[in-house]
Structure formats: structure tokens, C-alpha cells
Amino acid sequence: MNGVLASEKLIKAREYENRKQKEIPQGQKPAFHVSAPIGWINDPNGFSLYKGEYHLFYQYHPYSTNWGPMHWGHSKTDDFIKWDQLPAAIAPDEEYDQQGCFSGSAVEHEGRHILMYTGVQDKVLEDGTKVSRQTQCIAAGDGYNYEKLSCNPVIQSWQLPEGSSAVDFRDPKIWKEGEVFYAVVGSRHEDNSGQIALFSSKDLKEWEFVSILERCNNQYGLMWECPDFFLLDGKYVLLTSPQEMRSEGLEFHNGNGTMYLIGNYDREQQDFSREGVGSIDYGLDFYAPQTVLTEDGRRVMIGWMQSWDNHMVPQGFEWSGMMTIPRELTIKNGRLCQNPVREIENYYQNPVTYKDIIADKPLELKGIRGRELDMTIDVEAGYYGCFRINLAHSEKYSTSICYDLSKNTLTFDRNYSGLKRDVIYQRSMYVKNQDGKIRIRILMDKYSVEVFVNDGEQAMTSIIHTPIESDRIVFGGEGNVKFHVTKNDVVVN
């Protein structure tokens, strides 16, 4: 263990995952997306650059396909497409994290890989009341083994301003500026709504409260989870995942959502002022995104491709949960834009292109089918009712993406994808009115469908558990819809 003494819980988890993941049928998992080694994964954690490689951790319960006591699973890559599975990194093996090692982040410092996470502990107060407490903790390691600091927890709820919750205080995102470390942490105000707290430290051990960076004021959901804060294209961006959202048109949906806030940051006052707010992803399965700054200066984001309200595991699967494709972020016209990392192009094979196709009836194009692909469709401006793409199509199954010109909406519908539970199957979003012109990029990896509209101005992420044999793609339209399409298979050996 390279000088680090692993706990019994961590050894058990590592032995279990090593044994059980070998039993998963060959080819069942996605080809170029991070997925659960075995059991359950949710929020991405510790997305970071360490010694020239990109590491990703995630909330992990190896022993079942349901959420359970949280460990940290671990993967790494050098190009965001081909991932290596590493052993579990940390387990809930201390008094302060006995109920789970919840979400967090990571940073490189003096040759060490620093993990910052939320420890959850159940306590019994003097009057016999049972309470849960969430604190922020640190583990340091070498990219493989990690040791928790003896001074943990390093940030506790009593350091928050008066009126803040001692129960909902989690998901630290750490970064370093000069000689100072900073961390934003999700918190809850006494009015029951979310707030983002900012802390600083010079040595990772002693932390001070700096300010409340932003507050929800009961405007966007309640508790704000999984914050991230960074500079992008001259503006500061705050990402968060609000709980208990209420629908606002087609911009935000009920339940657990995601949101970006774009604005300015006053360093002297440690104050963030928002200028724009929007949904990060409009699909059925996207939550808890986290970013990393690459060596070449790109801001890359990854998210959990699942929904708390739509937990779906196909019968016989012993793993549940996957991550999105890592996405390059930019700001364009005040919106957060996202596109798959450019490295995916290194895995293209079997290119097929068609120009000036008229979709006035259902049609299939030779060479355009499959479940591991990157496809871009350019629809020309014109007068028509709608344009439809049916994916993972067969006589029995189909998943549709429909652009309705009259409503300026794009709708994803998985009602006939093979679902066996009464879960949410459809979601729509408004798109820019360009007199019928629209660019739709679709990334598929067996059970995932990621849609990027108009060069990343909007994204829709959803999963389907359609049998792999259903791999036809059918285009259609109401009226004379002219479009062009380019498809590349994505092949990762």
C-alpha cells in the first residue's frame, strides 16, 4: 500500500469490486463513458489534473445497484475518452464519516493529490435527540492510495454564519490561487433555501469562513448541492444542483435540477453578482456536474447521467450509473455552451455523409445506424411541421428526437425505448428560432443519448435501456424538410 495503511472497509471494497466486475458480461458497459465498476455510482467527485493525468472519483456503493454507504470510486484518463479503472479510493471508516464519504473535489499540491470531501456522522445529543452532522474532510495521496488527515474534520458547521444549517452542509469544491486554497460548499439558510459558502486556508488544515458567495432566497429550489466556481471567458460561473425545484416553463423542471449563474466576482468583498441564470442540461438524466481546468486551458465539465427520480437498472445488471461525456465549456451571448471534448475525434471510424436529403416520409440511410456514434444533422431553413429522428429503432423499440418548427421546441421521447416502469419519459426545451434551421449533434454510447443543439448552445442528456440489437436510425418529417447528416462510429478498443 506504499506506506498507507488501508482500513478493513476499504480493503473489503477493493477486493469485492476486483472480483465482481470480472463477472460483468463483455460488452455490456458503455465504450467511452465512465460507468460503475460494480454496484452503484452517482455524483462525480475530485475531477482533477494530477501528474499529467485526469482523475475522476464518484460516489460509490459497490455492494448493490442502489444508493448505500458512500465510498469514492476512482478512474483516470489522459484523453477523457479512454478510461482506466482504479481501486476504490476512500471508504467510510472514521467516526466523522461513518455514515458516508459524500461528494467533494481534488487538487494537486506539492506532489500530493488532495481530496476534499464531506463526512457524514450521526450523533446523539445530551437530550437524547438523534441528529446528522456534515463536515468537510481531507485525504492526501499518490493517485492510488489516500490517507485521511488526523486533524479531520477541517471545516465544521459552527464556522458558518448564524442561521445556517448544521445538517445540510456538503460537497466542497477546492481550488488554489497563489498560496491560498479556497473552497465553496453547499449550505442551507434558516429560510430553508440554498446558499453557497466560501472558505479559505493557507495550509489545508486551518480553514476560515470568507463569505456567503450566493444565496437562493427560495427562488430556485431549496438546498443547493455540488457547487463549482470558476473563471470562463472573462466571466465568473457558479454551477449548482438545486433540490426540490419547481418547473418554470421549459427552462427548469420539477425535482432535482442543475443551474448555472454567470456574473462578476468582487475579490475584495468576496461577493458574486449574477447577470444571467439558466439550466445546464435539459434532458431527463443529468445532475451534479463538476469541472476541471485542463493543461491547455480548457474548462471541461462532466456530470452524473442519471436522475434521483428516475432510477432505472435493467434486469440482470449488476452495475448502475454512468457519467456524461466530458464537455468543453464556453460562454456565448451570455449563455453557457458545451460540446463534447475534441479528443473524441481521435476515435472516429467509418465516416458517412449525406447532403440535401428530403425527409418528407420515414427513411433510413445506408451506413447510418448503430449505438456507439457521433452524428451531426443540419436542417435547412424552410416551412415544415416537424423533423424527427428515431434512434435505437426496431419493430418493437424506438427513441425519438423531434424538432417542432411551429413551437420552436425540441423534444426527447423514450416512451418506447423499453421502459418497464412508470417514470418520466419525455422532456422538451425551447430552441432558437432560425426559420427552421437547426443543428443537432447526437452522441450515443449503448444506453446513453447526449444531444447538443446549435453548436452546444443547449444540451439534453438522457439514458435508454433499449436492447443493443435495436440499432436502426430513421429520419422523417412533416413537409419537405431538407437536411444534411454526417455520422462517425466511435470505436474505443
Residue 381 near residue 437, CB atoms below 8 Å: yes
The H or E element containing residue 61 is strand 53-61
The H or E element containing residue 9 is helix 8-20
Would you state the pLDDT for residue 4? 67
The whole-angstrom separation of Cα 319 and Cα 34 is: 12
Q: Specify the pTM.
A: 0.96
Would you state the pLDDT for residue 131? 85
pLDDT digits (tens, 9 = 90+) for 235-280: 999 999 999 999 999 999 999 999 999 999 998 888 899 999 999 9
pLDDT digits (tens, 9 = 90+) for 286-339: 999 999 999 999 999 999 999 888 777 888 899 999 999 999 999 999 999 999
Would you state the pLDDT for residue 140? 98
More confident residue, 455 or 4: 455
* Chain length of the chain: 493
Residue that has been written with the C-alpha cell 439514458 in this structure: 463
pLDDT digits (tens, 9 = 90+) for 80-133: 999 999 999 999 999 999 999 999 999 999 999 999 999 999 987 778 788 889
Phi-psi region of 392 (alpha: psi -120 to 50; beta: other; left: phi over 0): left
Would you state the pLDDT for residue 246? 92
The whole-angstrom separation of Cα 76 and Cα 47 is: 9
Would you state the pLDDT for residue 3? 53
Q: Annotated catalytic sites, by residue? A: 43
Handedness of CA 78, 82, 87, 89 (dihedral sign): positive
| Structural domains of the chain sorted by starting position, each given as residue range(s) with its CATH number in brackets | 106-341 (2.115.10.20), 344-490 (2.60.120.560)
Q: Is it the case that residue 474 has pLDDT exceeding 90?
A: yes
Q: Is it the case that residue 195 has pLDDT exceeding 70?
A: yes
The H or E element containing residue 260 is strand 259-266
